[in-house]
Structure 1
Amino acid sequence: MALQGSTAKMRMRLLVGISVVACILSVPCDARLHISKRFGAGLDVVLDNGSAEELWFSQRLDHFNGADNRVWKQRYFVNDSFFQPGGPVFLMIGGEGPANPAWMTFGTWLTYAQKLGALCLMLEHRFYGKSHPTEDLSTANLRYLSSRQALADLAHFRTVIAAERGLTNSKWVAFGGSYPGSLAAWFRLKYPHLVHASVATSAPVQATVNFPEYLEVVRRSLASENVECPLLVKNASDTLLQRLQDPKTYENISKDFNLCEKLQVQTDMDSAYFLETLAGNFMDVVQYNEDNREFEGVVGTNITIKVLCGVMSDASLGDPYNRYAAVARLMQKTFSQKCLDASYTNYLRDMRNTSWSGPASGGGRQWVYQTCTEFGFYQSTDSPNQPFSGFPLPYHLKQCGDMYDPSLTKSTVADAVLQTNEYYGGYNIHTTRIVFPNGSIDPWHALGITQDISDDLPAVFIHGTAHCANMYPARSQDLPQLALARDHVYLLLQKWLKQ
């Protein structure tokens, strides 16, 4: 959603991203914490303008162990301004970042709610934002962080709130984008007696260990603006990779990319982290290209594919390597970074911090744990059809052992991903009344549903749009096909709520 400029080397996406709480991704929909995997939305700055009151709900720590009676408080929000007696209940699902109360005031789902007389609720995901089930984020405690526990949270929340508010017979509709989009689909799949329909936007429903297709979509998205753009990026990335083999170049590289400290490359992880960090400038911009997140308080959304390819095509800046460095400096300036921290050692230190006040507690430590234990989603350079160099799958997998537990290896991650797809069905999801909107620019569509499965499981593939675009408030410059997609989702909801 996620999805997630960066203020620190906590890295994600979003899926979270969007996390709707974030869309995060992630998150799968930060000004923005840069979480390494770009799952979801990334962690958009929380805009608490006082328009939505924080409410709290008691949840079990472990829904699947009847002998464990520990409980904790989960944050949620309510907007009842559109509710009409007998109307539906809309439940916005939180994801890999803090739940953003701006979603209780803005967003396409509220347009639907006004037309359909819906009560609107948003539930923050366990272990994100202020929803702290345990005293810290130790690896032992993170075993209670999973999509299955999150779905059980949703089910219990729906059951109790329905009883308390007299909504047991109301039709509930789940909404989510990026990782929360997957949760919206899986909520309908696993608890069909509790949720009547779902809107699963930009939802990566197929877990996969290696996800080089993400960067393949980045290449195509850059080429859609300028066919030479990904070629120039590849030239620059290859040149940098070559220079990293020679320690004599490190001082110049440090100056070129305005690093916070002189570049140190002692292991393959150091160079891979640096190369992925720079590729992230393009990955982030493509994922959120020309979106409408300004309402969430996200800065810098004027940086688009067109802007980046314009820099890469500007011969006055020097060769492609120098233009690549100019992109990095542009992103630093845009997001008010004094310098770029490209140290894997610093990143690892932050990600190992288990405190709720730690630098990765906004979502980075939690989400990467979920990738190691459920989803994979590693955006590697293991494809010849993408423009970046130097961060293959082993680099991503090693982080699981480095950050959490040495027992998290290639085989254990692969087993976890297999179990996820066995449990949810991956691409072969079988249920009814879920719509899957995706954008062609968004790299996450490669793991989503982009063609109708059935009349009751339709896809809405929106050409020219990025991650979770249909969830954001409409504006005059929206593409016609984006406006039509929003209308199509509304018509489906209208039809399904009559069934």
Structure 2
Amino acid sequence: MFNVIGLLKLCAVMFLSHVDCFIHHHLDLEGYISQSQGIGKNEIKNILLPVDHCAADSRTWNMTYVQNLEFWKPNGPIYINIGGPYPYIVHTKIFKKGFFLYDLAKETNGALFGTEHRYYGKNTPLDLTKTENLKYLNSEQALGDIAMLIKYVKTMLNAENSKVVVVGGSMDGNAGNLAAWMRLFYSDFVDAAVSLSGPVLAKADFKDFYEIVGENFLKYGTPGCYDKIAKQFTTFQTRLSTPEGIKRFKEEHLICPSVDMSKKENQQVFFNNYLSAFNIFTFDAIDGDAFKVACENIIFKDISFNSKLLQWQSDYIVQDGHGCINDDFDVKFNTSIKDPWLYQMCTEFGSFPSTEEGKHPFTNSLPVEYYYKACEVQFGPEFGKKRVEDGVKATNQMYGGLHPNVTKVVFVNGEFDPYRKLGVTENLSDDAPAFVIANSGRAVMLYDKDSKNKEIIEAKKKVKTLIKKWIGL
């Protein structure tokens, strides 16, 4: 039986074309299972799943997942690490000694599984060349995939009495959201959940994002770093206002000669790429020293910083003998292969980080209209601002935004993470606690090995204690 409260919520939004998914979703796995060869203790396997969980549709696709039964004992708990917008290989990197989930499985004689989110791995329900093919890329379908894997795993292990804990947390994407929403709509399948850095509130224009990025550099960077960043961005804007300045700017930042940097949308591609480097520092930081290092060794040494940008923006590099960055808006977004994460942002989550408002050092370099236009160019004219706003509204209605009606879910966010502004940071109830890890970045509790950061160490202990209590250990 499905979560009754969840169904009532869904009935309230039945005007949405896709919400029947939870009600009519079937879990008959007969004929759907296949698996590939295992590789070591972290085995790479596959399961055939429906392309569409919400309708009578015979099409299937081959979802990859990771399995580790190193510590499994009968009736032990089953841990499902939910994949975000990245390939399955991430799971194999953290299903190792010293990482949170591996150590928890060892302590509790548990089994470890890691899912690969549909459309983000080698195997996809449909190819990425047509926007129409992406209509099966949404959170409802992803939750259905996880539910079917759980049912199969319990059958495979003969573990009908085992407790199931889902964990979600990613440097980008919605894995933390999916963990909480699995408890919301599949409470009969999931006994407890850990939502790490989950921006459960959908928001079209995420104006707070860069204010927090700026705060991190102001609070933890070297003296004067924040002001230097502000001066740097002001200089960028000044140079991009004249032909002579543009010529110098392109040379300094390794921008391909063919790119017309007098066009505002091309300038915005540059700023989006450049700002992404600041975001990476913010997400990856396991303590405040990371910002000092960024200020001293990378940000204000232009050559090394541009080299980093070349590495991070490799998809847009034109190899012409020396390499240059192609900051052309049409080249980036008018592509034959569609970007699945951009699609989910344009249709479900929004959360576009803009610089139009807020106190930060990055000037008004990246307006939200940049993203709306990107949605239109990539997926079609009907995917503009209204589609984004409608999708955001529907997502919040369906899942409850900052107040999902859940129990036995712990919400964990990091101080440095801008997305904590869209996450649950205060207790919803005694059985749905929330806290922010001081001096830490995005989902680092999951990805940091043998941390020396005392706040992260304490957070791991706290979450382990909660999980063990909720599953009766």
**TM-score, length basis structure 2:** 0.84
Corresponding residue of 1:23: none
Deviation readout 1:229-286 (Å, 9 max, x if unpaired): 2222122112211221212222211121122435412532111111221122212111
Corresponding residue of 1:97: 86
Residue type matched to 1:125 in 2?
H
Of 469, 477, 499, 2:444 maps to 469
Equivalent positions of 1:66-465 (< 5 A) are 66=56, 68-100=57-89, 101-106=92-97, 107-178=99-170, 179-226=174-221, 228-261=224-257, 263-290=259-286, 304-310=290-296, 323=300, 325-326=302-303, 328-332=305-309, 338-349=323-334, 352-354=335-337, 365-389=339-363, 390-465=365-440
Equivalent positions of 1:51-70 (< 5 A) are 51-66=41-56, 68-70=57-59
Residue type matched to 1:341 in 2?
N
For residues 456 and 367 of structure 2, the distance between their equivalents in structure 1, rounded to whole angstroms, comes to 35
Cα RMSD after superposing both structures: 2.3
Q: Is the 8 A contact 1:63 1:152 kept in 2?
A: yes
1:311, distance to aligned residue in structure 2 (A): 5.2
For residues 243 and 346 of structure 1, the distance between their equivalents in structure 2, rounded to whole angstroms, comes to 23
Aligned residues: 420
Deviation readout 1:59-112 (Å, 9 max, x if unpaired): 11111112x221111111110111121111000111101012223335211111
Corresponding residue of 1:486: 460
Residue type matched to 1:240 in 2?
F
1:333, distance to aligned residue in structure 2 (A): 7.4
For residues 41 and 255 of structure 2, the distance between their equivalents in structure 1, rounded to whole angstroms, comes to 40
Deviation readout 1:27-50 (Å, 9 max, x if unpaired): xxxxxxxxxxxxxxxxxxxxx985
Give the unaligned 5+ runs of structure 2.
1-37, 315-322
Corresponding residue of 1:18: none
For residues 461 and 275 of structure 1, the distance between their equivalents in structure 2, rounded to whole angstroms, comes to 29
Residues 336, 366 of structure 1: alpha-carbon distance in 2 compared, 3 angstrom cutoff: closer
Residue type matched to 1:129 in 2?
G
Q: Is the 8 A contact 1:253 1:263 kept in 2?
A: no
For residues 468 and 456 of structure 1, the distance between their equivalents in structure 2, rounded to whole angstroms, comes to 21
Q: Is the 8 A contact 1:207 1:377 kept in 2?
A: yes
Q: Is the 8 A contact 2:49 2:62 kept in 1?
A: yes
For residues 194 and 47 of structure 2, the distance between their equivalents in structure 1, rounded to whole angstroms, comes to 24
Q: Is the 8 A contact 1:79 1:121 kept in 2?
A: yes
Q: Is the 8 A contact 2:310 2:325 kept in 1?
A: no
Q: Is the 8 A contact 2:46 2:63 kept in 1?
A: yes
Q: Percent identity?
A: 29
Larger Rg: 2
For residues 225 and 437 of structure 2, the distance between their equivalents in structure 1, rounded to whole angstroms, comes to 23
For residues 273 and 447 of structure 2, the distance between their equivalents in structure 1, rounded to whole angstroms, comes to 27
Residues 306, 340 of structure 1: alpha-carbon distance in 2 compared, 3 angstrom cutoff: farther
For residues 145 and 336 of structure 1, the distance between their equivalents in structure 2, rounded to whole angstroms, comes to 25
Give the unaligned 5+ runs of structure 1.
1-47, 292-301, 314-322, 355-359
For residues 86 and 155 of structure 2, the distance between their equivalents in structure 1, rounded to whole angstroms, comes to 28
For residues 73 and 39 of structure 2, the distance between their equivalents in structure 1, rounded to whole angstroms, comes to 26
Q: Is the 8 A contact 1:232 1:312 kept in 2?
A: no
